[in-house]
């Protein structure tokens, strides 16, 4: 049985993330979406708490039968090993993503040579989409519904309409 981890901060999970996860679910018997704590990310940390990001990912991915969502706050390769995965799947949008992810894959390989990294290119319609762009649209009262699931759209409104 093949098992892969798709890691990320998912602050929030977007339709771009869901596309990569859905495509990974077609390639592997089981996919574990690892929601990283990422407390130090950005000047103020993530918009959504770790628990909120896990809950939003679970609700957004509920229709994918071979996908589960788990929180993690350790080295990615250690998390992958702890859940029995031997593959990490990363989505790539642009060359800047590749440069960063290439470095991370090389470092992960140095830590654990038995964990393979597989890259999936974003669908052309999602190449511009990122969590930070979605947060910015929401912050200024824009419509985020084309970019996220309904539960995430509601959660974003709850953060910025208060």
Is residue 40 over pLDDT 70?
no
Phi, psi of 135 (to 5 degrees): -60, -40
What's the pLDDT at 85?
98
Give the span between the Cα atoms of 118 and 11, in whole angstroms.
22
pLDDT-above-70 percentage for the chain: 96
Is residue 44 over pLDDT 80?
no
Give the span between the Cα atoms of 78 and 147, in whole angstroms.
31
Give catalytic residue positions: 17, 41, 93, 131
Cβ-based burial of 3 (10 A; exposed 0-12, middle 13-18, buried ≥19) = middle
Mean of the per-residue pLDDT values of the chain: 94
- Rg of the chain over CA atoms, in angstroms? 15
Give the span between the Cα atoms of 80 and 6, in whole angstroms.
9
Please list, residue by residue across 39-65, b when 16 or more beta carbons sit within 10 angstroms of its beta carbon and e when fewer do.
eeeeeeebbbebebbbbbbbbbbeebe
For the stretch 67-126, pLDDT in tens is 999 999 999 999 999 999 999 999 999 877 888 999 999 999 999 999 999 999 999 999
Give the span between the Cα atoms of 68 and 87, in whole angstroms.
15
Q: Kindly state the average pLDDT of the residues 142-148.
A: 97
**Predicted confidence band of residue 46 (pLDDT cuts 50, 70, 90):** very high
H-helix segments, the chain: 15-27, 50-60, 76-82, 95-111, 131-139, 150-160
């Amino acid at each position: 049985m093949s098992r892969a981890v798709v890691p990320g901060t998912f602050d929030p999970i977007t339709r771009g993330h869901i596309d990569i996860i859905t495509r990974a679910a077609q390639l592997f018997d089981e996919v574990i979406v690892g929601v990283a704590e990422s407390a130090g990310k950005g000047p103020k940390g993530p918009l959504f708490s770790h628990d909120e990001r896990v809950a939003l990912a679970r609700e957004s991915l509920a229709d994918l039968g071979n996908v589960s969502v788990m929180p993690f706050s350790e080295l990615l390769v250690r998390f992958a090993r702890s859940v029995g995965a031997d593959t990490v799947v990363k989505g790539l949008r642009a060359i800047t993503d590749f440069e960063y992810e290439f470095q991370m894959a090389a470092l992960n390989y140095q830590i654990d040579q038995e964990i393979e990294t597989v890259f999936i290119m974003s669908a052309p319609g999602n190449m511009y989409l990122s969590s930070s762009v979605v947060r910015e649209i929401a912050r200024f009262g824009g419509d985020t519904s084309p970019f996220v699931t309904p539960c995430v759209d509601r959660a974003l409104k709850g953060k910025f309409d208060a």
